Copies of this chain bind each other. A is one copy, B any other.
Amino acid sequence: MNHYHCWLQYRPMTNQSLRQSYQQWLRCVSLPGGHPSPLLQSIRDELNRGIGAMLQMPVDFVEGSSPQNYLTVIGKPNQPLVRECLGPKLVEDLYQMKDEAYCIRTVAQAEGGRIVITGHTDRALLYGVFHLLRLMQMNEPLEQLDIRETPRNPLRMLNHWDNMDGSVERGYAGSSIFYEHGRITTNEQRIRDYARLLASVGINSIAINNVNVHETETKLITPAFLPDVAKIAGIFRSYGIQIFLSINFASPVELGDLDTADPLDSAVRQWWKERAKDIYQYIPDFGGFLVKADSEHRPGPFTYNRTHVDGANMLAEALHPFGGIVIWRCFVYNCMQDWRDRQTDRAKAAYDHFQPLDGKFLDNVILQIKNGPMDFQVREPVSPLFGAMEQTNQMMEFQITQEYTGQQRHLCYLVPQWKEVLDFDTYAKGEGSTVKRIVDGSLYGFKHSGIAGVANVGSDENWTGHTLAQANLYGFGRLTWNPDLSAEQITEEWIRLTFGPDPQVIETIAHMLLSSWRIYENYTAPLGVGWMVNPGHHYGPNVDGYEYSRWGTYHYADCFGIGVDRTMKTGTGYTAQYFSPNREMYESLDTCPDEYLLFFHHVPYTHRLKSGETVIQHIYNTHFEGVEQVKGLIEKWKRLEGKFNQQTFDHVLSRLMEQLEHVKEWRDVINTYFYRKSGIPDEKNRTIY
């Protein structure tokens, strides 16, 4: 495999009969006539690239029908050839499809046949083409295709925390692919290749700058940078991806135009309207603004004694005439907390801030909510804000970049975590009110909704630092398209696309990926407590790293026990933010799941888990086990030597060896900390320092 191409390897077909079959089907492709849109051009390019590489033959593109026996037809349902192939009944049915949905169908004919890819938009056709190419890469037969795909989430988005100096906040894969030295990059090919990767998994939106908007980035919405932003937008547009910009709420002041950024000030409102007008002149399909306001020292409406509603709606009004939306982040909490204060609970902040505002936001505002109430820890309960605002658009924010999960030096495949979150039943409207049904908009009928992920890519040749971390980007995209896909299915797809069809490779890497999150959890912060990392960069163990800080992130370990009492009865009352029966499940020690025990309860080290282990013995066991498990990953990987290119083998092995070294540090620091604190020896007498 070539690590730059990720899951679009397009390796030459070695199976002769399959190759011949594919060659037959794809020799001739019918595309709509007329001047091709950029999207249709992308389709043509991708087919040329994919077919050329896999089947080593050119594609014969035609307009309309062809005398060929075999033909692949790409077109909208209202095109005569499509209607002719599918018949009037099916075509009528297809008219109900949503804009991004597509249908792929094989139609047998007396002599030869037709594969039809159809949908109402060019974007849908592009998705269909990527689907067909994926099937071919996975060696699936094309003879009896009958596929109908509709993306579940309207917004399938990436958030880039890229800065214009080229740095990436929480980036672990080199520098920004968008910026260098305070300017937008001239390396457009890299962005185009990125757009191809994203489109191939159904991503349709991207915010291209950090939510912490610094001085230079504040100017992205001005004519100083808009021509360059428009170039990026143009590349993404040709792959069906809308761009968003993160904005600085204080822009009217910081750009020197006004003395205030008060959202109720008419001059401020007018200012934003004019900015929106400017932007849409350059980028007619601009997506809108992503906003981090009144959070971690970012400016916001609070400065002017205004509310989030005032702030978000002002921006929404400015964007409304052009169809733009405002994505307003709910990551708002007191980051100047006093560690002595056990009543203030950061976990409660998003709900407390936003839930009372339900129904007050304009309908082109979406609240973007992190999956958990804290901040992308390896294990957190689902944010109770999901489902708690019936009349307010909500979307999910996942973190693909591995800030707290090994920074792409450790293997930590996050699809299983995201699945757990999406499948979580909030009971907001009774049983079955899963998170995925909230964020896809179906539970409450949101006008806008979806899933965003903080991107994990950078300028590294392999995009993601750790080559296996490409699976997180792939899996994220696939889950946003269809959250019902199983982790196993996504994982196997990714491996087959990336590494090819060898069953041993598929089984081995699948096992490694699917076990890696739990392994990472084992050797890091136990039982949902979180935050035992070095402050600032968040890499490596530091049990008290955030214990006496201002960030609201505490474990309260003493010589008797550990954990945060978030119960209604004796704690911060956070459990009350959940709907029944989740509320009661977390409230009670008897029913609270072990993996969240220390998130919700303060217990003695001798407390017995449902597993029968004491808390302290669980800490020791999991941390010793974590190291053994990483050794197991290495053993597994080593057996794959020679199965694919040596460079990839060596690269992953070296990351795994680094992980092993670091895992020992985690094991020893955590075990030693708790042994020294509790004085309780390991039942198995293993070495603790």
Residues of A participating in the B interface, judged by any CB pair closer than 8 Å: 339-340, 541-544, 548, 556-560, 665, 668-669, 672-673, 675-679, 689
- Selected A-B contacts with CB under 8 Å, 24 pairs: A339-B689, A340-B668, A541-B548, A542-B544, A542-B548, A543-B544, A544-B673, A548-B665, A548-B669, A548-B672, A548-B673, A556-B676, A557-B676, A558-B676, A558-B677, A558-B679, A559-B559, A559-B676, A559-B677, A559-B678, A559-B679, A560-B679, A676-B677, A677-B677
Bound-complex Cα distance A558 to B675 (A) = 8
Residues of the B chain whose Cβ atoms lie less than 8 Å from the Cβ of A544? 542-544, 673
Residues of the B chain whose Cβ atoms lie less than 8 Å from the Cβ of A558? 675-677, 679
Residue of B nearest to A548 (CB): B669
Residue from A557, A665, A668, A676 having most chain B Cβ neighbours under 10 A: A676
Bound-complex Cα distance A668 to B676 (A) = 21
Nearest-Cβ distance from residue A143 to partner chain B, whole angstroms? 61
Residue of B nearest to A560 (CB): B679
Residues of the B chain whose Cβ atoms lie less than 8 Å from the Cβ of A673? 544, 548
Residue of B nearest to A668 (CB): B340
Bound-complex Cα distance A616 to B641 (A) = 57
Residues of the B chain whose Cβ atoms lie less than 8 Å from the Cβ of A689? 339-340
Bound-complex Cα distance A30 to B676 (A) = 74
Bound-complex Cα distance A474 to B669 (A) = 45
Bound-complex Cα distance A340 to B689 (A) = 6
Mostly, the A contact residues are loop
Bound-complex Cα distance A433 to B134 (A) = 84
Residue of B nearest to A339 (CB): B689
Residue from A340, A669, A675 having most chain B Cβ neighbours under 10 A: A340
Residue of B nearest to A340 (CB): B689
Nearest-Cβ distance from residue A114 to partner chain B, whole angstroms? 66
Bound-complex Cα distance A548 to B534 (A) = 11
Bound-complex Cα distance A390 to B544 (A) = 46
Nearest-Cβ distance from residue A23 to partner chain B, whole angstroms? 59
Residues of the B chain whose Cβ atoms lie less than 8 Å from the Cβ of A679? 558-560
Bound-complex Cα distance A679 to B678 (A) = 10
Residues of the B chain whose Cβ atoms lie less than 8 Å from the Cβ of A668? 340
Bound-complex Cα distance A676 to B554 (A) = 13
Closest 6 CB pairs of A and B: A558-B676, A559-B679, A559-B559, A340-B689, A548-B669, A544-B544
Bound-complex Cα distance A665 to B544 (A) = 15
Residues of the B chain whose Cβ atoms lie less than 8 Å from the Cβ of A340? 668, 672, 689
Nearest-Cβ distance from residue A108 to partner chain B, whole angstroms? 68
Residues of the B chain whose Cβ atoms lie less than 8 Å from the Cβ of A560? 679
Residue from A543, A665, A689 having most chain B Cβ neighbours under 10 A: A689
Bound-complex Cα distance A585 to B610 (A) = 54
Bound-complex Cα distance A669 to B560 (A) = 18
Bound-complex Cα distance A681 to B588 (A) = 30
Residues of the B chain whose Cβ atoms lie less than 8 Å from the Cβ of A676? 556-559, 677
Nearest-Cβ distance from residue A667 to partner chain B, whole angstroms? 11
Contacts A340-B668, A544-B673, A558-B675 supplied; 13 other A-B pairs, CB < 8 Å: A339-B689, A340-B672, A340-B689, A542-B548, A544-B544, A548-B672, A557-B676, A558-B676, A558-B679, A559-B559, A559-B677, A559-B679, A677-B677
Residue from A559, A668, A672 having most chain B Cβ neighbours under 10 A: A559
Nearest-Cβ distance from residue A283 to partner chain B, whole angstroms? 40
Bound-complex Cα distance A542 to B546 (A) = 10
Bound-complex Cα distance A676 to B541 (A) = 20
Residue of B nearest to A562 (CB): B676
Residues of the B chain whose Cβ atoms lie less than 8 Å from the Cβ of A557? 676
Bound-complex Cα distance A544 to B665 (A) = 15
Nearest-Cβ distance from residue A550 to partner chain B, whole angstroms? 10
Residues of the B chain whose Cβ atoms lie less than 8 Å from the Cβ of A339? 689
Residues of the B chain whose Cβ atoms lie less than 8 Å from the Cβ of A672? 340, 548
